[in-house]
């Protein structure tokens, strides 16, 4: 089924209002979720809506959070998200980072007591309109094993960096610090297809091509896949995300991060509050004149995109290119939804008396 | 041959003085180089000394640089390294980042017109003694092909993040954004051994296990190795390093970065000055009380190091563990040097009338 993004946005917003969010928060939350569907990160869009609702049902997400700045300096700060939706808390924190960047050149905000914040790229890209470089990261439920570890101790802990250009569209990196994002694995699971070596280990810690491996007690692998291919680097980056997001802010880290799924309980011995995020903004003219920077970014992007490809016609891409193309397409043609997602959304719609859009 | 690190330090310092560095700069440059040898990053230590000397011979490195702050805000700045040794310019820039962190919570310095700065970890670790998180990165001569590219457009562009703990030693990530660092490949080249798939592509852009592949016109591969294993992520991270180091500062970026080797000329159409670095410092108590942060870091480190290993006895490591162990060992037992490195150093010693240490 394909649904126009505006209709899906209105539906999502109505559901968020029905579960208790303010008009403004529902608007923002729906916008963040839809940005994932538009950019092709289907695992982080409306497919997650029922998951958020189940967490709200269990009182694990507060729909009327009073976020607080716990501590700040001119260029840094910590925000307590009051158990709110990360979709709403995240943009507030990013806004504060941008304000600090306007005042003193850069702003860096660590967030505790939050929940899943959607796609990292939404938040980093907020900085672009103010001619800032935007950075966002978050920790997440433990699904990933460090190099040499049988245990799952880290989330897919994404990093996003958005960098403005002039005539060219911005550079937007948005990556899980695993070899493959969980969403990619889910696609293989639905097809009953094997996963490439280097994506997953089984519950004994051995490499496996079983795409169901994580569900069977195995783990996703850090970017690199194994030690010989640099998995200690993916593990190291994921650790930095975890520490910046949670040890700096006072959120839960590592294996203590509360699970996204409502049927698993949070750890009984938390080391902090909720999950953590980290946001940064750097004003480009805090380094050199914005026009100069942007014209060199155009040159950078053009040079890389114009590189001689290995396979003729198979162009070298710049971070953000595929997502932007998909966004343009989906804005026109609508958002394709899998049957189980449609069913899920229709069920929620029925429960809250909100009609699911027919197209 | 094994040489005591103090003797090797004195030798290196004397050579740096002989080529024109001040007492202070020679001291610092030797310290940075030796830190690589002590930590086991042999490719970035005294083995590079003759390379620096050849660049000085060609007037491509200025031994008496007058570095200048080109632009600054309370939390950011750009430094022009006046073509100085990165070994000397780097610590100056990191010092400025730390000072800004003391004043306003964080400091971020982009550097242009510099040269190779040794190991990234030296600079990031400078922040630890001031209870700051330290970040350092640099661009480098193009040896790496972006995903889908036949051309080499990026350096091994390392990222280092150093994070203080309390009783535990600090977390120190120091990684090239390639599957394997060039130094690791050189070890295989000397042994005439094959490289694992995912490290190198040949000059047509096809995967190869030929460890001489890069010398034959091929390229190192970004962390991930190929698209299926996430090489677009390694490429994206490397791109961020390049942009933060050079587009923010006005240094050369991408394929325009001047080669480290003196027998290759810099591009005739530079897009900036010299190579670029990027440094960051964040005061931990700009987020939460330092004691709280550090005790949670201890907990983080202990939990990860204590994770159940896949292979009994093969412990899960924390970033910085292997380098620290090697440093302790080499401080006691001395630094092992390969014969060609010893010959190289003896030749330089002879040229400048500096005795090479016998042990």
pLDDT in tens, A8-32: 999 999 999 999 999 999 999 999 9
Residues of A with CB below 8 A from B135's CB? none
Q: For domain A66-177+227-319, is the CATH number 3.10.580.10?
A: no
- Confidence bin at B359 (pLDDT 50/70/90): confident
pLDDT tens digits, B162-171 = 999 999 999 9
How many contacts does A have with B, using Cβ atoms within 8 A?
A: 260
pLDDT tens digits, A288-325 = 999 999 999 999 999 999 999 999 999 999 999 999 99
Average pLDDT (B83-98) is 98
- CA nearest A243: which of A292, A277, A209? A277
Average pLDDT (A325-333) is 98
| Report field, pTM of the whole predicted structure over 0.95 | yes
pLDDT, residue B183, reads: 86
The ranges assigned to domains in chain B are 1-57+334-359, 66-177+227-319, 180-220
Spell out a b/e string for B234-261, using b for 16 or more CB atoms within 10 Å of the CB, else e: bbbbbbbbbbbbbbbbbbbbbbbbbbbe
Residues of B with CB below 8 A from A223's CB? 223-224, 230, 233-234
- CA nearest B221: which of B252, B186, B179? B179
- Confidence bin at A353 (pLDDT 50/70/90): very high
- Confidence bin at A358 (pLDDT 50/70/90): confident
CA dihedral B84, B88, B90, B94 (to 10 degrees): -130
Residue of chain A nearest B296, judged by CA positions: A247
The yes-or-no verdict on residue A243 having pLDDT over 90 is: yes
d(CA A230, nearest CA chain B) in Å = 5
Instruction: Name the residue among B108, B233, B315 with its Cβ closest to that of A106.
Output: B108
State the CATH architecture for B1-57+334-359.
Answer: Orthogonal Bundle (1.10)
- Confidence bin at B310 (pLDDT 50/70/90): very high
Instruction: Name the residue among B196, B232, B239 with its Cβ closest to that of A171.
Output: B239
Instruction: Name the residue among B239, B288, B309 with its Cβ closest to that of A319.
Output: B239
Angstrom distances, CA of residue B224 to CA of A199, B151, B328: 11, 18, 32
- Confidence bin at A344 (pLDDT 50/70/90): very high
Residue of chain A nearest B158, judged by CA positions: A233
Average pLDDT (A197-217) is 96
Q: Which fold has domain A180-220?
A: Wheat Germ Agglutinin (Isolectin 2); domain 1 (3.30.60)
Q: At what angle do helices B23-38 and B86-104 cross, to 10 degrees?
A: 90
Average pLDDT (B123-137) is 98
pLDDT, residue A306, reads: 98
Question: How far apart are alpha carbons B246 and B233 in whole angstroms?
Answer: 20
Residues of A with CB below 8 A from B249's CB? 287-288
pLDDT, residue B256, reads: 98
Average pLDDT (B132-139) is 98
Strands (E) in B115-238, as ranges, are 132-138, 159-163, 171-175, 200-201, 207-208, 219-220
Q: Which residues contact B167 (CB under 8 A, 6 or more apart)?
A: B298
pLDDT, residue A182, reads: 87
User: Which residue, among A68, A70, A73, would best test binding to B if mutated, counting the most B CBs under 10 Å from its CB?
Assistant: A73
The total of other beta-carbon atoms located within 10 Å of residue A342's CB is: 15
The yes-or-no verdict on residue A60 having pLDDT over 90 is: yes
Instruction: Name the residue among B74, B171, B292 with its Cβ closest to that of A74.
Output: B74
Interface confidence, given as ipTM, is 0.98
Mean pLDDT of chain A, nearest integer: 97
Residues of B with CB below 8 A from A250's CB? 288, 292
């Amino acid at each position: 089924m394909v649904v126009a993004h505006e209709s899906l946005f209105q539906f999502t917003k109505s559901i968020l209002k029905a579960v208790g969010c303010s008009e403004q928060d529902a608007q923002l939350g729906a916008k963040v979720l839809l940005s994932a569907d538009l950019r092709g990160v289907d695992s982080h869009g409306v497919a997650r809506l029922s998951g958020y609702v189940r967490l709200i049902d269990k009182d694990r997400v507060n729909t009327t959070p009073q976020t607080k700045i716990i501590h700040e300096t001119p260029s840094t700060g910590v925000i307590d998200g009051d158990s709110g939706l990360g979709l709403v808390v995240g943009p507030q924190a990013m806004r504060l980072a941008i304000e600090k960047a306007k005042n003193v050149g850069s702003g860096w905000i660590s967030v505790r007591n939050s929940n899943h914040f959607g796609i990292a790229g939404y938040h980093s890209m907020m900085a672009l309109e103010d001619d800032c470089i935007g950075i966002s990261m978050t920790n997440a439920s433990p699904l990933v094993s460090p190099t040499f570890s049988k245990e799952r101790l880290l989330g897919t802990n994404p990093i996003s960096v958005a960098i403005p250009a002039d005539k060219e569209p911005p550079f937007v990196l948005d990556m899980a610090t695993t070899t493959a994002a969980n969403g990619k694995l889910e696609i293989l699971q639905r097809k009953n297809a094997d996963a490439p070596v280097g994506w997953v280990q089984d519950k004994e810690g051995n490499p496996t091509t079983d795409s169901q491996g994580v569900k069977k007690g195995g783990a996703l692998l850090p970017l690199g896949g194994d030690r010989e291919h640099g998995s200690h680097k993916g593990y190291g980056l994921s650790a930095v995300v975890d520490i910046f997001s949670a040890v700096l802010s006072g959120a839960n880290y590592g294996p203590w991060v509360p699970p996204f799924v409502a049927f698993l309980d949070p750890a009984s011995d938390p080391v902090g509050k909720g999950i953590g995020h980290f946001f940064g903004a750097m004003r480009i003219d805090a380094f050199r004149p914005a026009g100069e920077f942007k014209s060199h970014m155009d040159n950078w992007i053009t040079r890389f995109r114009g590189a001689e490809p290995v396979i003729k016609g198979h162009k070298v891409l710049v971070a953000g290119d595929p997502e932007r193309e998909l966004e343009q397409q989906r804005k026109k043609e609508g958002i394709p939804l899998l049957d189980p997602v449609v069913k899920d959304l229709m069920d929620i719609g029925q429960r809250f008396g909100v009609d699911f859009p027919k197209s």
